[in-house]
């Protein structure tokens, strides 16, 4: 069942095959938005689309984790504009030894997914987003030890988020920027706690799209714990 809260709005969700991204995409679509979901896994994206054929969901298959891939996505989108963008990239990596990690492939993937991909997608999507731009990643969890690769990613993406927020505040042609930080009571990597259903959790992004949230005015950060989730969804 859909409602008309976001009727007429267009949304873009990157990382829609993960729990957070999928939850955001379905919640936005059920609120009436036309949602474009993007990622590398064509099969998973098309399954989401076919499983929810009653919703207005489009698919773009793209590897935006590299400069060349981001440029290709930029060309694919052309003049397309979105009202709301959600970028969910970067799982929680339980690799704690920053200086002794033997697997360089894991090292590179962790930093690329949690940091570089966010910067590349901001470059592509911020100029195309009219109202609300939200980032979230597995390393953006509070209440957990910020060590090793995940710690580097958490602090780096927070720094990027603050810079993006400041840029959006100074340039009114850019959307409102919010970096959603998930409390460890809610989950990191996987949704848990009182919001263990991805679609239920995704409703916070509908609340953000409706402007019914408050971010830290110095950084653009919002901490989503169980209480904040309840507050945001009640405001819808």
- What pLDDT digit, counting tens, does each position of 195-233 carry? 556 677 778 788 888 776 666 666 666 666 555 556 656
Number of H helices, E strands in the chain: 8, 7
Predicted local distance difference test score (pLDDT) of residue 230: 61
**pLDDT number for residue 189:** 44
- The vertex-38 CA angle with 213 and 35, nearest 5°, equals 55
Which sequence spans correspond to the domains of the chain? 10-234
In order, the DSSP letters of the chain are ---STTTT-EEEEESTTSHHHHHHHHHHHHTT-EEEEEES-HHHHHHHHHHTTTS-EEEEE---SSHHHHHHHHHHHTT--EEEEEEE---------TTT---HHHHHHHHIIIIIHHHHHHHHHGGGEEEEEEEEEEEEEESS---HHHHHHHHHHHHHHHHHHHHHHH-TTSPEEEEEEEETTT-SSS--GGG-SHHHHHHHHHHHHTT-----TTT-EEEE-HHHHHHHHHT-
d(CA 104, CA 111) in angstroms, rounded, equals: 11
The whole-number pLDDT of residue 54 equals 95
pTM of the model: 0.85
Q: Which of the following CATH numbers is that of domain 10-234: 3.40.50.970, 1.10.238.10, 3.40.50.720, 1.10.10.10?
A: 3.40.50.720
Phi/psi-derived region of residue 182, left when phi > 0, alpha when psi is between -120 and 50, beta in every other case: beta
Show pLDDT as tens, one digit a residue, over the chain (236 residues): 456 788 999 999 999 988 888 989 999 999 999 999 999 999 999 999 999 999 999 999 999 999 999 999 999 999 999 999 999 887 666 555 666 667 777 778 878 888 899 999 999 999 999 999 988 876 555 555 566 666 777 777 778 888 888 998 899 889 988 887 665 544 444 444 445 566 777 787 888 887 766 666 666 666 665 555 566 566 55
């Amino acid at each position: 069942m859909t409602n008309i809260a976001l009727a007429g709005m267009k949304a873009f969700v990157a990382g829609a095959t993960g729990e957070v991204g999928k939850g955001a995409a379905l919640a936005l679509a059920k609120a009436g938005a036309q949602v474009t979901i993007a990622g590398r896994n064509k099969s998973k994206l098309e399954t989401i689309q076919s499983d929810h054929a009653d919703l207005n969901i489009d698919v773009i298959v793209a590897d935006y984790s590299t400069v060349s891939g981001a440029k290709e996505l930029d060309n694919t989108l052309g003049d397309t504009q979105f009202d709301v963008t959600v970028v969910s990239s970067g799982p929680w990596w339980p690799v704690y030894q920053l200086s002794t990690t033997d697997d360089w492939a894991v090292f590179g993937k962790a930093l690329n997914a949690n940091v570089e991909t966010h910067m590349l997608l901001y470059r592509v999507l911020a100029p195309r987003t009219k109202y609300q731009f939200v980032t979230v990643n597995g390393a953006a969890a509070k209440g957990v030890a910020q060590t090793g690769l995940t710690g580097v990613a958490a602090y780096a993406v927070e720094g990027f988020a603050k810079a993006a927020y400041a840029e959006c505040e100074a340039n009114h042609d850019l959307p409102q920027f919010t970096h959603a930080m998930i409390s460890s009571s809610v989950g990191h990597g996987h949704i848990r706690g009182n919001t263990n259903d991805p679609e239920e959790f995704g409703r916070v992004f509908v609340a953000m799209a409706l402007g019914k949230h408050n971010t830290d005015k110095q950084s653009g950060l919002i901490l989503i714990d169980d209480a904040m989730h309840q507050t945001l969804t009640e405001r819808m």
